[in-house]
Structure 1
Amino acid sequence: MNETVLYEKAGAVARVTMNRPRVHNAQSRVLLEGLDEAFAEAMADHDVRAVVLFGAGPHWSSGHDIGTPEELADRDARPYRPGADGHHQRSWDWNVENTMRWRDLPKPTLAAVHGMCIYGGWMIASAMDLIVAADNAQFLPFLFQYQSTPWDIGARRAKDIMWEQGLLTAEDAHRLGFVSQVCTPADLDEVAMAKAHRIAALNPLLAQMIKRQVNDAQDAMGFRTAIAAGHSAYMIANLGHAFFDAENPFGSRKKMPGIDEARERAERTK
């Protein structure tokens, strides 16, 4: 594990915290590796029966890291193949395969969300079994690699929010079934951990089989196929004019909306 992810145990519950508050927990490859290691540690520990994922700082996650010095240096130090095939492989490895693996973790997982949870932040939150949100939480999906949004909130609402780019409040997300419980920011830690401890008190095999039944039902309806197809659509847009400069499609990425831009877009849709 690395410094971008914190791990601690509280009885039968593991607390995992994304720890890049300076950049609102933007998801660098190093952070994603840290999350993967933390989840693996929790799964290997027989005393851990549930996991809660937190975000340090004022926001849960601003999404993908597409340009911090740390991320760019890491890409230079550990490059994928140049060109479209390398870009596709990196996208699949770090944003689809990872996220699907976390969705399928055998133990119950919860996200304790506050502040902004946008773009890639939505992807990671959606991979957790349950989401507890502070009432200041705001959510926003987009055309991203692990496209679970239609499954999370329904097809028409997914199109609407991704076209309009209007932020979902915690109450909106709760009404749509994406969020399980809403509380005050001051109570988020306590409420999320209490819920995790109640779930951890279940027989572990029972908890695991409940999760498997529900996930298998989604898979029988085509969830995995839809995720793979969604990644293909993402790559078509990503390798075209939607995200990249036409003159240099693999080196000069246009600026994706961040937290400030997300707020501005949301204001225009009111």
Structure 2
Amino acid sequence: MPVTYHEVIYEPGPVARVIMNRPEYRNAQSRLLLEEIDAAFQEAVDDPEVLVIVLSGHGPDFSAGHDLGSPPELADREIRGWDEDFVGVYDRQRDTRITNTMRWRNVPKPTIAMVHGKCIFGGWMVAASMDLIFASADALFLPSHTQYFSAPWDLGVRKAKEILFQNRFIPAQEAKELGFVNQVYPADVLERKTLEYAREVAERSPMALRQIKHSINNMQDGQGFTTHINASFMTYAVGARFGQPDPRMVKGKRQLSPVAQALAKLKPWPRPRQD
């Protein structure tokens, strides 16, 4: 049965497009958006005409990360329910942040994240699960340090520590130099260059592409990638359940969230234009 999408635009074809479509919320990841990304990837996997999948975001940013309470998200929670007990929260977050993301990592077709603007926390998780990342020159990446914790693999151990300790955005060119981003292009040619590459890859044998991807992912898993992701999520879950503020850090003042701290180091984040 065809899927009706509300927060994703899906365009089939040899190079299928999965476009996050919540521009008014900078593609913050609602429960519905994550479900529709998953459905779109499955549709692409099931379609023999699809050879490569390109994931992108509509609007000013690739993704602002988790949706922590937009009106549509809150309405959805009211309608469908939202477990507040620890087990319910654990199961929901494991499903949406680990099971989904690992499934996208292991899609048996090449995947490319086409990133522009800001790519924050949950956005990093989704982009990191793709095989390749092509970015605009003005893209900024804020690595996630919880849930799907791939940053040590994405950046290298020492660089991951340095950047996460500092809690800062990584400009696209630096992300390329660190090996997280494959190619950086001016914003006005990013889409053209990404699709040109995707079409070139789509000319190759689907079986050869599948074998290459499977072999490289297997190599990474042999080094402990999946075990690390699962263990890191458990560490996050325990910390979220039992963690308490450090009085030496708080000092009686309300601290900014990690995202707000990183944003405070940048120039003011412009509001979307209202045409």
2:54 is aligned to: 52
Matched letter for residue 262 of structure 1:
A
2:264 is aligned to: 264
In 1, the alpha carbon distance for the partners of 2:143 and 2:130 equals 15
User: 1:178-214 deviations in whole A, cap 9, x for unaligned?
Assistant: 0110000000110111111111111000000000000
In 2, the alpha carbon distance for the partners of 1:40 and 1:23 equals 25
TM-aligned CA deviation for residue 233 of structure 1: 1.6
1:90 is aligned to: 92
SS in 1 for 2:53: strand
TM-aligned CA deviation for residue 81 of structure 1: 3.8
TM-aligned CA deviation for residue 236 of structure 1: 2.5
2:103 alignment partner, one of 79, 101, 104: 101
In 1, the alpha carbon distance for the partners of 2:256 and 2:67 equals 11
1:248 is aligned to: none
Unaligned stretches of 5+ residues in structure 1: 243-253
**Which runs of structure 2 are paired with 1:193-208 in the superposition (5 Å)?**
193-208=195-210
In 2, the alpha carbon distance for the partners of 1:261 and 1:15 equals 33
1:19 is aligned to: 21
User: 1:123-146 deviations in whole A, cap 9, x for unaligned?
Assistant: 000000000000000001132211
TM-aligned CA deviation for residue 83 of structure 1: 1.2
1:181 is aligned to: 183
1:7 alignment partner, one of 7, 10, 14: 10
**Which runs of structure 2 are paired with 1:213-228 in the superposition (5 Å)?**
213-228=215-230
Residues 125, 144 of structure 2: 8 Å contact kept: no
SS in 2 for 1:185: coil
User: 1:50-99 deviations in whole A, cap 9, x for unaligned?
Assistant: 00011011110010011112112222322354311111111101010000
Q: Answer yes or no: is 1:113 the counterpart of 2:115.
A: yes
In 1, the alpha carbon distance for the partners of 2:257 and 2:108 equals 34
In 1, the alpha carbon distance for the partners of 2:124 and 2:147 equals 11
2:63 alignment partner, one of 58, 61, 64: 61
Residues 165, 265 of structure 1: 8 Å contact kept: no
Residues 165, 266 of structure 1: 8 Å contact kept: no
In 1, the alpha carbon distance for the partners of 2:42 and 2:161 equals 34
Aligned pair count? 255
Residues 16, 44 of structure 2: 8 Å contact kept: yes
Greater shift, 228-237 or 130-139, is seen at 228-237
- CA shift in 2, pair 1:266/1:220, >3 Å: farther
Unaligned stretches of 5+ residues in structure 2: 246-254, 268-275
TM-aligned CA deviation for residue 165 of structure 1: 1.1
TM-aligned CA deviation for residue 257 of structure 1: 4.6
Matched letter for residue 110 of structure 2:
P
1:143 is aligned to: 145
SS in 1 for 2:97: helix
2:33 alignment partner, one of 31, 50, 65: 31
Residues 167, 261 of structure 2: 8 Å contact kept: no
TM-score, scaled relative to structure 2: 0.88
| Sequence identity (%) | 45
Matched letter for residue 208 of structure 1:
R
In 2, the alpha carbon distance for the partners of 1:237 and 1:65 equals 20
Residues 110, 128 of structure 1: 8 Å contact kept: yes
Matched letter for residue 263 of structure 1:
L
**Which runs of structure 2 are paired with 1:120-159 in the superposition (5 Å)?**
120-159=122-161
Residues 118, 139 of structure 1: 8 Å contact kept: yes
TM-aligned CA deviation for residue 265 of structure 1: 3.6
In 1, the alpha carbon distance for the partners of 2:256 and 2:108 equals 37
User: 1:30-63 deviations in whole A, cap 9, x for unaligned?
Assistant: 0001101110111111111000011011110010
1:71 alignment partner, one of 73, 76, 94: 73
In 2, the alpha carbon distance for the partners of 1:256 and 1:91 equals 19
In 1, the alpha carbon distance for the partners of 2:51 and 2:28 equals 28
TM-aligned CA deviation for residue 256 of structure 1: 4.1
